[in-house]
Amino acid sequence: MDLALENHVVLVTGGAKGIGAAIVELLASEGAVPVIIGRNTADNEALADRLATQGPRPLAITAELTRTEDCQRAVALAVETYGQIHGLVNNAGINDGISLEQGTTEQFLESLRRNLVHYFDMARFALPYLKQTRGSIVNIGSKVAETGQGSTSAYAAANGGRNALTREWAVDLAKYQLRVNSVIVAECWTPLYAKWIESLPNPVEARQEIEARIPFGQRMTTAEEIANMVAFLLSERSSHTTGQIIHVDGGYTHLDRALLPTERK
């Protein structure tokens, strides 16, 4: 399916690695103009250089998204370069393990800034331009908002906030014909996830145990599968879809574990 994203300027936060990089790469392959936004200049430039061998070199912007002024500057640079914005993908964040028992109020608030506040800041600064193009916002979230995880109060709260903002913005911005949706991630194989698995005493067995609990195919979601849904939601092919919280997780969050093969339960 042609998603008709050619020449659409899309900002992607945390766009240099993992799910963000998969989104950037897919958008570039669809003829869109992805803008890579992240804190690590080397990572941003490396992805931009790699994509430049296949087509136009994406704009790479170094920004510490916990600083509101950096969010504003990133949007301004994108507009200065391309003159318009058609989409925003809020993706940057990290599960930082700020728990109720061990965390402090200061750590909790800092985590909200790392994982939620910049979603608001990026949307706020991009909004005037998204109104002009009747664009789309996609917020990347985590199943932790719905299932809990343990020892991660701040990250869970941030993701609950992402879901709430998705619904609120969908209501608030419908009058501008501007759509807002979320893509929820559960167990998705990325370099960061792989690094975590390798830190465990028995990484192979740990991965097998996790995958055995995923109803559809007993395998992890790929970053490319997340990117496919994001690109669809950014496109006019999803022209009557807004306020939706869509799980791309092989049924991990909601499906009955009775669906699992008996020998792998």
Contacts of 78 (CB under 8 A, 6+ apart): 9, 11, 35, 59, 61, 85
The alpha carbon dihedral of 251, 257, 259, 261 has a sign of positive
The percent of residues in the chain predicted with pLDDT above 70, rounded, is: 98
Where are the domains positioned within the chain? 9-187+222-264
For 108-239, strand residue ranges (E) read 136-142, 179-185, 188-189, 221-222
78: left (phi over 0), alpha (psi -120 to 50) or beta: alpha
Q: Rounded mean pLDDT of 119-138?
A: 98
| pLDDT confidence of residue 265 | 46
| pLDDT confidence of residue 115 | 98
| pLDDT confidence of residue 1 | 73
| pLDDT confidence of residue 50 | 98
Q: Rounded mean pLDDT of 61-83?
A: 98
Name 62's bridge partners. Answer: 38
Cβ atoms of 99 and 23 closer than 8 Å: no
End-to-end Cα, the chain, rounded Å: 37
| pLDDT confidence of residue 257 | 75
pLDDT tens digit sequence for 23-54: 999 999 999 999 999 999 999 999 999 999 99
| pLDDT confidence of residue 262 | 61
Asked whether residue 261 carries a pLDDT value surpassing 90, the answer given is no
Asked whether residue 219 carries a pLDDT value surpassing 60, the answer given is yes
* Averaged confidence pLDDT in the chain: 96
Asked whether residue 260 carries a pLDDT value surpassing 90, the answer given is no
Q: Rounded mean pLDDT of 86-114?
A: 97
The percent of residues in the chain predicted with pLDDT above 90, rounded, is: 95
Tokens 């343990």 label which residue?
Answer: 150
Active site residues: 155
Q: Rounded mean pLDDT of 182-210?
A: 95
Cβ atoms of 74 and 63 closer than 8 Å: yes
| pLDDT confidence of residue 258 | 73
Task: Identify the helix (H) or strand (E) that includes residue 183.
Answer: strand 179-185
Q: Rounded mean pLDDT of 214-240?
A: 97
The model's pTM is 0.96
Tokens 């195919």 label which residue?
Answer: 217
pLDDT tens digit sequence for 207-218: 999 999 999 999
Q: Rounded mean pLDDT of 194-220?
A: 95
Calculated CA dihedral for residues 247, 242, 68, 94, nearest 10 degrees:
0
Tokens 């318009």 label which residue?
Answer: 84
Architecture of domain 9-187+222-264 in this structure? 3-Layer(aba) Sandwich (3.40)
The DSSP bridge pattern shows strands 59-62 and 188-189 to be unpaired
